[in-house]
Structure 1
Amino acid sequence: MKILKTLSILEGSSLLLLLFLAVPLKRMLDMPEAVSIIGPIHGVLFIAFNLALIIAVGKSQLKASYGLIGFIASLIPFGSFVFKAKLLNQTPDSSL
């Protein structure tokens, strides 16, 4: 569960960097390099976070409903932070 908590913070942070730093730099200052760097990093973290959710649900370390909520939260700015604070901190830590 520790990895899932860490990934939720990293994924949420990368989404915020993408939306509130890289995209404005690209659109307003014509700097597409920011999206070219942060975009793939966010993509990898997004996939890793959702794979960790699937693994946790598969190992019965996380309820399936929590897994679905986690996936939806990963699509929403600040959602991963709320997911970690509200749901992941209520579940006991394990080796995930």
Structure 2
Amino acid sequence: MDLKTAGALRRLRLISAPEAVSFLLLLVCSVLKRTTDFNAVPAMGMIHGVLFILYVLFWADSWRRARWGWQRGALYFVLSVLPTGGFFAERMLRRECEASVLAARAAQTPEAAVGA
């Protein structure tokens, strides 16, 4: 995995949890709006909207750079529209990044031994 692909996956991973939190807070604000006089939906809606747009942009960049199949790309998109899906996406992306780092290190080890 090259650095640009790793960076794209890292950006997607870092935005997925805040996007999920903002979605859950928006749901709580919606319930509070209907049950009390508290109305934070406009502010929370804008925050969630910005985070969701960033998630979709980072998702598209990651899909293109990592060359995911349509199933994996669709999975990460579906996780973005589920209230807690961003947490699962973050965990899956962390594992994917760690595996790619380990594979890259393993690939470098034989080259270093041959060059010595």
Q: Scaled by the length of structure 2, what TM-score is found?
A: 0.70
* More RCO (CA 8 Å, sep 6+): 1
Structure 1, unaligned runs of 5 or more: none
Structure 2, unaligned runs of 5 or more: 1-8, 101-116
Aligned counterpart, 1:4:
12
Aligned counterpart, 2:97:
92
Task: After TM superposition, give the deviation of residue 84 of structure 1 in Å.
Answer: 1.6
More helix by share: 2
Structure 1, residues 25-77: CA drift from partner, whole Å, max 9, x if none?
21101323x00110011011011101101011111x25133221111011111
Aligned pair count?
Answer: 90
Q: Contact 2:14/2:90 (CA < 8 Å) preserved in 1?
A: no
For the residues of structure 2 that align with 1:67 and 1:47, how far apart are their CA atoms?
16
State the superposition RMSD in angstroms.
Answer: 1.7
Task: After TM superposition, give the deviation of residue 15 of structure 1 in Å.
Answer: 0.2
